[in-house]
């Protein structure tokens, strides 16, 4: 039985997602996760993103429209940043350092102008699933909900995308995301692994075998989709 905390979120998902992963909301671990989040909030802890945006990635990008997946770790953990889409911040919010590096690589890869904002909803609406492996986080504590149960849920999401016959590009940036590569069918999908776009990883790029800068994930994704008769991703953000 679906925990009351998840009933509205489950009902709001596109039908294709409800069909593929709807049963997960009935799993005991999801009931435990709901109780954990309720206890965190009752204790006065700020949890991001706001509750209505926890499943925003699934709500904005239907499974049957999927072209690519960009996998992040967990939401931004400062007020006003997290919006339920990996790496994205709302309009008017200062662009975080990792996203600035994503913008730079996008420009170097495809010549796309660097935007003056960090909102990636255009990608999400265009078939790019902007998924974090944990869908919530405590204010000021990166990774704080990594063991709360979210990984079981988001693994099912990844498995649902992997099971699709239509080929998809998986962009796995950083060690946390790259651990999911073993779950994926490299014969059907494109798996692009590189370092995380963070400044810390960029500082080590000279000694890394897979730096983010120069990896061309956006162009390679479109090359892959086009070769398989699928529509390309429109990566523009202006």
Active site residues: 74
Which 3-state string (H, E, C) describes 115-127?
A: CCCCCCHHHHHCC
**Nearest to residue 67, comparing CAs of 147, 124, 116?**
124
- Sorted by sequence, the CB contacts under 8 Å of residue 210 that are 6+ apart come out as 193, 194, 195
**Nearest to residue 15, comparing CAs of 71, 67, 58?**
58
Distances (CA, A) of 79 to 44, 90, 139, 221, 225: 15, 11, 7, 32, 37
């Amino acid at each position: 039985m679906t925990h009351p905390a998840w009933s509205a979120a489950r009902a709001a998902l596109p039908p294709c997602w409800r069909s593929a992963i709807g049963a997960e909301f009935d799993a005991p671990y999801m009931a435990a996760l709901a109780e954990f989040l309720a206890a965190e909030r009752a204790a006065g802890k700020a949890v991001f993103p706001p509750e209505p945006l926890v499943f925003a990635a699934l709500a904005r990008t239907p499974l049957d429209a999927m072209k690519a997946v960009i996998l992040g770790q967990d939401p931004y953990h400062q007020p006003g940043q997290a919006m339920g889409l990996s790496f994205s911040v709302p309009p008017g919010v200062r662009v975080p350092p990792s996203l600035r590096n994503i913008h730079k690589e996008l420009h170097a890869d495809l010549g796309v102008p660097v935007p003056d904002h960090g909102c990636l909803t255009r990608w999400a609406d265009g078939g790019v699933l902007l998924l974090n492996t944990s869908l919530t986080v405590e204010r000021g504590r990166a990774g704080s909900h990594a063991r709360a149960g979210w990984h079981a849920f988001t693994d099912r999401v990844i498995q649902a995308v992997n099971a699709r016959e239509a080929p998809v590009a998986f962009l796995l940036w950083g060690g946390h995301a790259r651990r999911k590569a073993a779950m994926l069918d490299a014969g059907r999908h494109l798996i692009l692994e590189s370092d995380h776009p963070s400044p810390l990883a960029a500082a080590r790029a000279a000694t890394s075998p897979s730096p983010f800068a120069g990896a061309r994930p956006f162009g390679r994704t479109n090359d892959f989709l086009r070769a398989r008769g699928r529509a390309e991703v429109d990566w523009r953000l202006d």
